[in-house]
Amino acid sequence: MERTTHEITVKSIQELPSIDSLKNIPRQKTIRIIFDHPISHIREDYGEQLKRNLPHFQIGIHSMEPKIEINKLITKEEIINNQLFFAQCAKDYRKLGEELIRLLIKKKKIILNEDFPFLAFNYLKGRRTQSGKVGKWKYFLHGYHCHFQNLITKQQIEVPFMFGMEFGDLDPYFFSLYIKSTPGYQPLPVTIYDNFDDGKRILDAMLQLGLLERINSNLEHHSGLVIKDRNKVKIKIYNPDKDHEKPKFQSGLLRLIQFFNL
């Protein structure tokens, strides 16, 4: 679902919408304020004032054009009312993520160090096997994640591999993308308009509600969020002096397996 845009052109300070009126805009509407030349110089100051007074809104201050766009983010009440839905999504995300990683491991004949699976996945990046197909999914290894997209349903999921064998870490943007692309969740009980900002509010609220918990990753000073109701997985901190090793594969025909085994 896309937002509709309501445009307001203001020529004086008196014509600027009040904070109270902006608080009541519906989530499905974007307010775009166009600053006419006489007051274009106050655009940034007014935008910063909006950010201070509307902390649960997305305030976009255009860097070049004399305009500001205002969007209301998903509310805490909406998240609380749909907490069971979001908790189930987090559980499903974790389950599917593990299934797809294990499918990739099996098809690519990877012998995984289960303490540090990223060693094997990082090895595949920069090679032809950085992307490919496994079963009904295409995949792409990048950063700390492996992106999977179902070739039929177009469902998408970004599976983290920096948490040992824990594959349920939730990123705001990726979690929103997963929810919105999962056919079984449609129609959504509550609309997610902005993948990152709405997603962050969802995860923050779920953490406050005790549905999520923070976990450490394999990297020191790096953490993530995962559903609290789960079978716990022990995660070790990676020490490059002691733990570095070359990834292993189940066959000496590594290149043939990587290129052609789907």
Q: Which amino acid is at 105?
A: I
- Closest Cα to residue 152, out of 134, 133, 136? 136
- pLDDT for the residue numbered 257: 45
- pLDDT for the residue numbered 129: 82
Would you say 199 and 117 are in contact if contact means Cβ atoms under 8 Å apart?
no
- pLDDT for the residue numbered 128: 84
Architecture (CATH level 2) of domain 4-72: 2-Layer Sandwich (3.30)
pLDDT, tens digit only, all 262 positions of the chain: 789 999 999 999 999 999 999 999 999 999 999 999 989 999 999 999 999 999 999 999 998 899 999 999 999 999 999 999 999 999 999 999 999 999 999 988 888 899 999 999 998 888 888 999 999 999 999 999 999 999 999 999 999 999 999 999 999 999 999 999 999 999 999 999 999 999 999 999 999 999 999 999 999 999 999 999 999 999 999 998 887 776 665 554 444 444 444 4
Report d(CA 226, CA 171) in Å as an integer: 10
- pLDDT for the residue numbered 262: 42
Is pTM beyond 0.85? Reply is yes
For the chain, domain boundaries:
4-72, 78-260
Taking only Cα atoms into account, the Rg of the chain, rounded to an integer number of angstroms, comes to 23
Provide the token pair at 202.
Answer: 């969802």
- pLDDT for the residue numbered 259: 44
Phi first, then psi: what are they for 55, rounded to 5°?
A: -65, -20
Provide the token pair at 213.
Answer: 């918990």
For 239-252, give one letter per residue: b (16+ CB within 10 A) or e. eeeeeeeebebeee
- pLDDT for the residue numbered 247: 62
